[in-house]
Structure 1
Amino acid sequence: MLIGDVARQSGVSARMLRYYDSLGLVRPTGRTEAGYREYSSEDIRRIFHVESLRSLGLSLREVGRALDDPGFKPSELVDDLIRRTRERIAAETELLTRLRRIGAAEPAGWEDVLQIVALLQALGSESAGKRQRAALSSVEEVPVPVEALVEAVLSESDPNVAGALRWALAQSGEGASALLAEGLGSPAAEVRKRAVQSIAEIPDDEATALLRDALTNSDIVVRRYAALALGARGATDAVPTLIDMIVEGTNDADAADALSALASDPASADQIATGLVDRLAHGAVEPPARRRLTQALADIPGVTSSRALADLSQDEDRAVALTATYVLRLRGGR
């Protein structure tokens, strides 16, 4: 069969067949009297084998080795092809993500495109200073898509850069909270922590709802950050967790401050005082925790708090009794 017929049957161009011949990959077994290449059925079968192996991503050199080396074992080469394919997919996925982010920023011209690309590259820089400047620039100059900021903040370990990224997200408008919510379910504890910290700085209703949901998160660190943020927003849902933090001695001063702020509302003050008193009455609470609870109760106004402090002034724990007595004196002098 002549080269033109082979090209039509195999789908491989005559030019490529000549190239295969020059490499010694597929050499026609015969020539016509006029010197034209003449392919046998075995040659055509080899062409199909070459094309099949090329479709797997093998180079022509690797194809030749696979077909001609009797001792060739494909397993090692297949493993290498899998690795290379994964790397290629990762690179293409990264490119696709970058293109989508550029499109989402709706650049007005190529100058905007170049600025966005520069900011995206800076967000991934090894330099913390560059990452921080990029975070600040994403608000002040060409806006970077929210997805890029969320990805950056969830992976950022430098506290200064993370702070700048959280600030940028808080200025970015809608969409950030929903994306950050996915981070709350991450298997990585650090990612969950960064997610709740970022949500805590977004001042919208969606973020508040997410923080309320986070009070039941399986990660105690997430629950604590959510409680502190909700306390600052006047949400009494956080009261039980804040009291737990005082008992446990974890960020207890911040938790007590949050309870004090919530207690500016008389109805909330009574609820908080009751919760603190209930925990003080719990027999399993250790002396240091009872002292912290008493100090927190001292900052809660109202009748319930005052009555509890009067009882505590007679407490067996001298530190508790002295704290309660001192606070009652201050209240009596007002």
Structure 2
Amino acid sequence: MTRVHTTTDNGSALRRALEAKNPSARLQAALTAGTNPDPAFIEVLVEHCAGEPDFYVRDMLTWALTRHDHPTVIELILPELRSTIPQARSQALHTLTKIADPGTWSVVTTELLQDEDETVARTAWRAAAGLVPEGREEWLAETLSTQFARGDRDVQLSLSRAFADIGPAAAPVVERAKAHEDEAVRTHAIATEMIMEDPELGFDAAVYEARKTVALSAAPTIRDGNNADR
């Protein structure tokens, strides 16, 4: 008797393929799942996003999910945002960014925007900046302003880009941050303003100019030679 393959069989086959030791085999499995969508694949793809060690395979898992029914994918992804596994949270956010459903804006919470894991936070910044609805830009900018001067160069670059994506509504928030008591916050805010005004400007150049501006503003002002001797 010829065996009839069901969607359940397909899901089991995909799970086995995504457990292969060779990342190239896992990459091919994810590619095939996206090329030939099947409802049984969605849960398996979401499940493997949390533990897949290879960046390229993870990205292909997300692509495969975007090829499936979006409402179903979103429904299965949302619980991942509360996972204790940082990669599960970040990959879920990344997938939501790619799906770009405006209705998912509210799930990018303050907790995710301020997540202790830098990868999760960076992904949340990108997702929120891309999904923010009209009228909520300033709130988002205020929330992101609490992250100025966080992390290394790449983390700070991600935040600056998020502000640039938010647009003009973020300008007053960045302007206030330029007067912050913390020198590192002032520097990052000034560099961010430069990136917002000129997206083609390199981040390193912006930070260099920002540091000069902060240093000059902190230097004592000498009005004339006589005052300098008093």
Answer whether TM exceeds 0.5 for this pair: yes
Q: What's the CA shift for 1:188?
A: 2.6
Give the Cα separation in 1 of the matches to 2:46 and 2:218: 46
Q: Tell me, what secondary structure is at the counterpart of 1:177?
A: helix
Whether 1:231 aligns to 2:155 is no
Query: Does 1:127 find its partner at 2:127?
Result: no
Alignment of 1:58-69 (within 5 A): none
Tell whether the 8 Å contact from 1:136 to 1:164 is kept in structure 2 after alignment.
Answer: yes
Partner in structure 2 of residue 204 of structure 1: 101
Q: Give a deviation string over 1:263-282, Cα, whole Å, max 9, x none.
A: 2xxxxx2x422211222222
CA distance in 2, matches of 1:261, 1:320: 31
Counterpart of 2:147? Answer: 245
Q: 1:146 to 1:157 in 2, by over 3 A?
A: same
1:151 aligned partner: 47
**d(CA) in 2 for partners of 1:166 and 1:128?**
15
**Distance in structure 2 (CA, Å) of the matches to 1:223 and 1:194:** 11
8 Å CA contact 1:224–1:241 kept in 2: the answer is no
1:153 and 1:246 map into 2 onto residues whose CA distance is 29
SS of structure 1 residue aligned to 2:50 = helix
Q: CA 1:224/1:183 → structure 2, altered by over 3 Å: closer, same or farther?
A: same
Partner of 1:110: 4
Offset at residue 156 of structure 1 (A): 1.1
Q: Does the Cα contact within 8 Å between 1:291 and 1:319 map onto a contact in 2?
A: no
2:166 corresponds in structure 1 to 262
Alpha-carbon contact 1:224-1:245 (below 8 Å) kept = no
C-alpha deviation, 1:112, in angstroms: 5.8
TM (norm. structure 1) is 0.50
- Name the CA shift for 1:178/1:291 in 2 (closer, same or farther; >3 Å): same
User: Can you list the C-alpha shifts for 1:112-131, whole angstroms capped at 9, x where unaligned?
Assistant: 66655433320222221111
Q: Which residue number in structure 1 is paired with residue 180 of structure 2?
A: 282
Cα shift at 1:205: 2.9
Looking at structure 2, the residues matched to 298 and 320 of structure 1 have their Cα atoms a distance apart, in angstroms, of 20
Tell me the C-alpha RMSD between the 2 structures: 3.0
Which protein shows a greater Rg? 1
Q: 1:255 to 1:208 in 2, by over 3 A?
A: same
Relative to structure 2, which stretch is displaced further, 218-227 or 121-130? 218-227
Q: Distance in 2 between matches of 1:142 and 1:300?
A: 40
User: TM-score if structure 2 supplies the norm length?
Assistant: 0.69
Shift of 1:204: 1.4
Are the counterparts in 1 of residues 187 and 214 from structure 2 also a CA contact under 8 Å?
no
Does structure 2 retain, via aligned residues, the 8 Å contact 1:170–1:203? no
**Cα gap change, 1:299 to 1:129, in 2 (>3 Å):** closer
Please give the alpha-carbon distance, in whole angstroms, between the structure 2 residues aligned to 1:278 and 1:192. 31
Is the 1:122–1:134 contact (alpha carbons within 8 Å) kept by the matching residues of 2? yes
Please give the alpha-carbon distance, in whole angstroms, between the structure 2 residues aligned to 1:136 and 1:191: 20
Q: In the alignment, what sits opposite 2:66?
A: 170
Residue 32 (structure 2) aligns with? 137
1:257 offset after TM fit, Å?
A: 2.1
Go from structure 1 to structure 2 and tell me whether the alpha carbon gap of 1:142 and 1:168 turns closer, same or farther (over 3 Å shift).
closer
Gaps of 5+ in 2: 198-209, 220-230
Aligned length: 192
Q: Sequence identity, in percent?
A: 21
Residue 289 to residue 140, structure 1, CA distance change in 2 (3 Å): same
Residues 1:185 and 2:185 aligned together: no
Separation of aligned partners in 2, 1:121 and 1:238: 41
Letter in 2 for 1:318: L
CA 273–203 in structure 1, closer or farther in 2 if over 3 Å, else same:
closer
Q: 1:196 to 1:254 in 2, by over 3 A?
A: same
Whichever residue aligns with residue 110 of structure 1, its letter is: V
Whether contact under 8 Å (2:35, 2:64) holds in the other structure is no
Kept in 1, the 8 Å contact 2:148–2:188? The answer is: yes
